[in-house]
Structure 1
């Protein structure tokens, strides 16, 4: 395996399609939740290789959900509110999930770490399929599948059984395990799945001594090839010292583990507020249409805190209603998008005057200092 460190800090922002991970009926009922730049297009007329197609699928033992596929095309970046933002999620989803199929362009068929520039070689139209796999009480693992290349990965498998069941239901063979950090609820299934499938374990270089079964260690600036899809690695310390996030620019997909949540961010177990703020700022600089796949279903509880510090945010009010509806129907609130997080996540909005007043920040406090105050307030909320 060839490894190349690019050292790049800012990735190119090509014009990619955007998608909101919302049920079709909720979109029709709440058009205000969508930015004006997003418009629905016919479900079965996906003419653009950059268009993202979402469709609910049955999972494990339950029959398939009512079919309500939706295609969205994104014409321009979302307008962002002040500062940055993030989210959390909560209850388990039982045996149903949303399957996301994204037509994405990128190069290659091998899965070697390579390239010395930040440009994405978007030449093919191989599909990257992403499926949520509920684990434990509120964790999410994610199955990534490139049918053209015949490779399948799981991100942060906290336990083996749900992942194995999902693979069997799809008749897939696991080839890779991707870990964002060392915590047991993100790596608990590593060794069992590696032994059963012979999968290669990929994880953070800074935490390689704490990642069970690790084979490939990646760090900031590394580019790793998964089938026909290029993955960029960001060091995102704060929750843990060695935390990383995985970004697939050709699919506009970002796997944040416990760094950025829907309407929240991870607790600071090993890092500092300054480190976490730098990590969130790095992720927030990606295109607004980027879909965020985080490690937990914490959104509903996070929404309560967000409302407590910024009740004047109309976009947050609309989103809170939608979150309540989704959870009442036992549907996931993930993925979210960076644009939506920037507009509603208090941890990405330290320049909001209402939030600054809520955490009693000094008038001359920096965004990093306000972020630290928000984190302290959330810890005791």
Structure 2
């Protein structure tokens, strides 16, 4: 029988192309908001877990977890920083859940943060480019190029309508339009998406998530609460994309999803709302299939039919996803779970309504182009 872990409080900053505040300042803001939501003081915390990918390169900062503890006036707690590229946030959450279940912490603070605007464009591009396998980096391959090649292969393999890629972007922009924490708060049309500048054919500008700054925080507790963390599970996949048996399979996602659902004792039919790692629109389609919500080659049609809309059979990325809420790397995985908590508690911020009757939520945070994945299941108590 698993030890219960509940979400006591959540808080985040708005994700933005650029913040004047430092990474530590943004992390502190998010932390205070989560503590306030939980009705707790920093003195109640026993551990602090910071998800961050590249503070050294982006913010010229080391020891960000210790700086955050100093800003919160914390002494005597266990503190660490967790780095798992773009899945750093969810990995920090996994670390905190494990700490509570192991009895090492009763109340834990998880903070995901990144300030990507602080680095020169060339530096930021180089850091992100290093996510791929070394041989692929030497050959000039990048995450957008992988996404473009994969999208082209998907469209041709399943005779899919290219409008489905644009439909993912349109849906997620529409969801973000009323989200006060989203980086992009405007709707777009399929025509706009398909006419945007090419990035890696067939992907265009609106098929790709932005860079940005932001922080998100969750207070976890071993006591009862309105939302429980039912499971968090991770898995790695083949690092070199070219060595994968099937370029349309992301092993890390299917493995992490299967482990999390088994640990939570839920199936795909039990999930009421999902936050999916849509760094590129093609990834939302692939990941939905890898998680078992749709058969291979069917997610594109489900999207066009509106089955992943807010009023569809499985609302996906109700807060806008990476595509429109934004993707400050270390903060994303935490922000996904925060969105699910809001949905399950029924207190979604902004001029929007929660998914009706939502009881179970699933979040998927992916490192690189599927090198690693973390899946989280949360349930209303």
TM-score normalised according to structure 1 size = 0.30
Higher relative CO (Cα under 8 Å, sequence separation at least 6) belongs to 2
**Which has a greater percent of helix?**
2
TM-score normalised according to structure 2 size = 0.30
**Which has a greater percent of strand?**
1
